[in-house]
Structure formats: structure tokens, C-alpha cells
Structure 1
Amino acid sequence: MQPFARLALIHRGPAVESLHHGVVAVADAEGQLVLTRGDADLVTFPRSSLKPFQAIALVETGAADALGLTPAHIALACASHHAQDFQVAMVRDWLARLDLDERALVCGPALPHGQADMAAVLRSGGGPSRVFHNCSGKHCGFLTLARRIGAPSTGYELADHPGQRLFVDAFSELLGRDAAALPRGVDGCGLPALALPVAAMARAAARFAGVRVAGAERQRAITRILGAMRDHADHISGRDQPTERLVRATGGRVVVKGGAEGFCLAFVPERGLGIAIKLADGASRAKMAVLVGVLAELGIVKREAAPALMAAVEAPIRDSNGHEAGRIQVTL
């Protein structure tokens, strides 16, 4: 089997300019693969697509409730946010509740994602800040968990920190194997990054979507996380961003969490399905359109509605005057 399947073409005028190859795996909560493209056993890093799993202990231990966190906070713990004003305000408030400042965050200084937000910070005399980092909500979650379990607030990025061990324990149950044995790297925000097969990630996502775990507290935690990500999809990346548009377009039947380097994960709770997508070139372009194509293939999105939804979740290919210059074609 070829490791990568052709997933999308980029057209410019009459010719194909670029190709995106990758891997798709869709699993059900019983662990069966129901759709694949490419080699689903490819081992790769899901990157930020792991954040919903990393949030389990925050909720399960009672840490979120002890600090009075809302579903919006839980969504932000799962986010790769764009540092829009409402997200930055929430991170700063969260740190204040912990009596900490941004120096407690392991993630490095960054600027907001959007050009207008970045320009506003620079015009005001500001600069890079740890609260602007797209993972700062996740880091606030680990700091909150550390306080709840009596662990140090420093060193939470280390694999042997009690907070990291709780994440690995929860992920192991969903994975069906010891996640501590997975290859380990360092994520862009400084926390551990695990590598695993695309198919294994789809199976873990399916069990998460179907809430297939043994303990009642963990079941409630996962249900709350899914609800928070569904109801506060604007916190996951930003307002009027592809994630929010897709969740809104599907009436909340699909919950989405992207990852760096071309990874995308989707949960379909009503059908207990997990969808994992990895673009081989690490591009973000086309992965959301490919996800829509997968949803259409599964009958979750009507085929006739798929082209409009693809256009809504992918940035158009335009020239410098804003005129359309190309298009994305999904080739599942």
C-alpha cells in the first residue's frame, strides 16, 4: 500500500498547481475502521488534536469545578486559540483566579494570530506575551489540575509530573494500550507530544465520541468536554473561523479539533465515530475541506451541501486584489 493517498488538488486557472496527499482513518466506538485512505498505520504526531484528551483530568478530578470554571473555560483548555480579545481576557482572568501571572505558563511568548489583533497590540506599545500563545488555555488547565492534586505548578511540562501522568492514564484507556510507551517528542508549546498511528487516533476519538470508558466520573468528564467544545466552538480557534463554521453547519453533530502540521481530528457523538486526517506535507490548507469530504462520504453532510461547506471552511485562493485565482478540489 502507498503510505499516502491523494486527498486534494489545487487548481489555478486551467491547470493543477499543487497536490495534497495524506492519510484518513475513520473508526467506530467498537474499534472497527469504517473508512480509510492511505496507510492508516502511519505513525505521526496528532499535536494539538490531543487537547480534548489532555482536558479529561481537569474535569474528572474536580479541578475545574473547584476553581469555578465554566464550559467556556473547558473549551479554551482544548483550544488552539487565535488570541482574540475575549480569549485573551479569559486567559488573564484564569491566571488571576490561580493567583499566578503569565510567567507560570511554560508556553513561550507570541503575538495574536489575526493581523488586526496583532496590529492593535503593537500600536498600543505591547509585544509578544505568553497569554497570546495559542496553547495558553491548555497550560492554564494543567496549572489548575496541579493545584487540585497538590502537585507543583512548576515542571508540569515534564512527562513524570502528576498532571501529565493523569493525562496518559486517561488516554491509555481510550487508546486501549499504554500511552506511556508511545514515542514522545516535544510540542511547540513545550509540553510532551505523543506519536501514534492515524488509525489508533481515530479509534481513541471514536471511544471519546461514544464515551466508551469505564468510570462514571470519566464518562461525565468526557460528556462535559464534548458539550463545551460543541457549545463554545468559537473558543476552540476563534470567532467565525473554520472550526466554528463547521460545528455550526452540522448543528453541533460534529466536534472538531485541529492540530499542527496538517492534522485534524473530528468527533461524531451521535454515531460514535472518530475521524483522523493527516496531510503528508504538513499543510493546514485543504485539511478542513478533506474533513467535509469525509463527512459527505459517511452521510453526515449531504453531498449536495458539501461544496458550499468546503468553501466556507477553507480560505479562498485569491490574488493580491482579492479576486479568485484558484480552487481546492477534494479527491477522496
Structure 2
Amino acid sequence: MTSIQPLVEVRRGGVAESTHHGVAVVADAQGRLLHAWGDPDLLTFPRSSLKPFQALSLVESGAADGLDPAHLALACASHRAEPFQVTMVENWLRRMGHPEAALVCGPAFPAGEGDLVDAARAGGKRRVFHNCSGKHCGFLSAAQAFGRPDGYEAPDHPAQRHWLDALSGLIGRDAGALPRGTDGCGLPALAMTVSDAARAAARYAALAVPDARREAAVQRVLGAMREHPAHLSGRGRPTEQIVAAVEGRVVLKEGAEGFVLGFVPGKGLGIAVKIADGATRGKMAVFAAILGRLGLLPGDRAAELARVVEAPVLDSNNRVVGEVAALPLP
């Protein structure tokens, strides 16, 4: 099988200018691969797509008791540091009694142009602006609940070991033995095959977990992601658009370097997409096209969604001069 295949085409004036290759996989909770485009055994880093699994440390430690679903969604977020997200992070830190410096993630600027300008005028980069600051609040909370408030970034910290144990059950082997690197936010990053990511998402969506306690935790996280999709990225962003289009029947989490992971609770399916060159553009169009292929959206609505979730190609006057389009899935 070819390791990667064409998934996205960038067109200017109707002519294909660039092509992004990658891998996309759909799996069920029994571990079967229902669809695979490219090599499902491609090894890669799902990056922030693993945050819904990491959030299990927050919930199962008891640290999430008293938090509302919006906080759980923020713990799964790769946010844009929009004002409502920054306020939530600040309040969460205040509630824990920790200064901003307690977050391991480094200082950053907000993603939005206006918010960035405001931040620069107010003093510059801050840790609360980092797109992973919600996840770090989650780990900091869990670390306190586990009785080891310092060093939550260490691979042997109880908060890290806890979610790895949960992931092990979902992939069917020791997740601690997976290849490991360091994520951009300073926490451990795991590498796995695209197929294992899809299988883990399918079993998570199907609540295929060992006991009622974990089942309740997974339901809380999925419910928070469904209820607050804007917290996962930002208002009006593709994640929110997709969840709205499918009326909450699918939730998803983006990761850096062209990864996106989808959870389909009603069908017990997992969807994983990896753009091989790490491009951000195109992956959400591919994800939307897969929703159409699975019958989760009518074909015409899936095609329209695939267009909506990708920014068009613009010239310097902000005129549309091209498009980013998902290629037909054979």
C-alpha cells in the first residue's frame, strides 16, 4: 500500500497549484478498519488530538469535581486565546491558588490579530495566552489531586501515568512503550500509528472502557466537547462549524502538524486524518468529506461543509483567487 496518497488540492484560477498528501482512517470499536486512504500504519504524533484522553486524569483524579463542562472543554483545547478563554484560564488558576508561572507551557501571543495587538500593548506574551494553557490547568489540577502538585510535566508523574494507563486499554497495549518526544508546550508527546489513533477514538466514543467510573469520565469529556466546541479552538472556527453541522453527533480535536481526530459516539467510530507535510490547511476539508462518506451528512452538505471549513486562497487585497479542496475519496 502506498504510504500516503493525495488528499487535498490547492487551486488558483481553477488550476491545481499544490497537493497535500496524507493518510485517513476510519475504525470501529472492535478495532476493524472500515476505511483507509494511505497506509494506516504510518507512525506519527497526534499531538493535541490526544487531549481528550489526557483529560481523563483531570476527571478521574476528582479534580474536575466542581468544574463545569466548559472547563473540561478548555482542558481539551488548543485555543486561540480569545478573551473568554483567557479569562477562564485566569480564573482557574486563581481558584487553584497558583500564579501564572505555575504553568509549564511557555509564554505566547494570542492567535487573533486584534487580540495579539491588544496583548502587545498590554505587555506582551503570557503563559495564559498559550494555546495549551487549558490543558496545563487540567494537569495542574490533577497533580494537586494526586498529591504531587509539582512537576506534572514529568513522564513518571501520576497525572501523566494515569492517562497513559487509560490509553493503554484503548489501544490494547502498553502506551508507555510508545515512542515519545516533547510537545510544543513542554509536555510528553506520544507517537502512534494513524490506525491506533482511530481505534482509540472509536473505543473512547463507544465507551469501551473497563468500568463504570471511566465510562462516566469519558461521557463527561465527550459531553463537554459537544456542548462547548468553541472552547476547543475559537468562536466560528472549523471545529465549532463541524459540530454544529452534524448537530453534535460527532466531536473532534485538532492536533498540530496536520492531524485531526474524530469521535462518533452514536456509531462507535473513530476518524483520524494526518496531512503528511504537516499543513494545517486541508485537514478539516478531508474530515468533512469523510463525514459524507460515512453517511453522517448528506453528500451535498458534506461537500459544502468541506468548502466552508477551509479558508479560501486570497490575494493581497483579500479577494478570493483560489480554493483549498478535499479530493474525492476512492
TM-score normalised by the chain length of structure 2: 0.98
Aligned equivalent of 1:72: 70
Amino acid at match of 1:278: K
1:249 and 2:245 correspond = yes
CA distance in 2, matches of 1:307, 1:126: 43
**Residue 154 of structure 1: CA displacement?**
2.1
CA distance in 2, matches of 1:308, 1:77: 30
Aligned length: 328
| Mapping of residues 115-264 of structure 1, within 5 Å | 115-123=113-121, 125-151=122-148, 153-264=149-260
Aligned equivalent of 2:31: 31
Aligned equivalent of 1:98: 96
Aligned equivalent of 2:304: 308
| Mapping of residues 274-285 of structure 1, within 5 Å | 274-285=270-281
Aligned equivalent of 2:293: 297
Verify the 8 A CA contact 2:243 2:250 in the aligned structure 1.
Answer: yes
Which consecutive unaligned segments of at least 5 residues does structure 2 have? none
Q: 1:14 to 1:244 in 2, by over 3 A?
A: closer
**Residue 306 of structure 1: CA displacement?**
1.8
CA distance in 1, matches of 2:160, 2:146: 12
Per-residue deviation, residues 192-246 of structure 1 (Å, max 9, x unmatched): 0000000000000000011100111100000010000000001000111110011
Amino acid at match of 2:260: C
**Residue 310 of structure 1: CA displacement?**
1.3
Verify the 8 A CA contact 2:26 2:271 in the aligned structure 1.
Answer: yes
Aligned equivalent of 2:109: 111
**Residue 14 of structure 1: CA displacement?**
3.4
**Residue 106 of structure 1: CA displacement?**
0.4
Aligned equivalent of 2:12: 12
Q: CA RMSD in A?
A: 0.8
Which consecutive unaligned segments of at least 5 residues does structure 1 have? none
Amino acid at match of 1:59: V
CA distance in 2, matches of 1:243, 1:14: 27
Identity score, percent: 58
CA distance in 2, matches of 1:329, 1:264: 16
CA distance in 1, matches of 2:100, 2:277: 34
Identify which of 85, 88, 91 aligns with 2:86: 88
Identify which of 307, 314, 324 aligns with 2:320: 324
4+ residue runs over 3 A deviation: none
CA distance in 2, matches of 1:96, 1:32: 45
Per-residue deviation, residues 233-263 of structure 1 (Å, max 9, x unmatched): 0100011111001101110011010000000
Amino acid at match of 2:310: E
Amino acid at match of 1:172: S
Verify the 8 A CA contact 2:292 2:303 in the aligned structure 1.
Answer: no
**2:266 partner SS:** helix
Per-residue deviation, residues 288-325 of structure 1 (Å, max 9, x unmatched): 00001111111111101122211221111111212111
1:288 and 2:284 correspond = yes
TM-score normalised by the chain length of structure 1: 0.97
CA distance in 2, matches of 1:35, 1:294: 10
Amino acid at match of 1:61: S
**1:270 partner SS:** coil
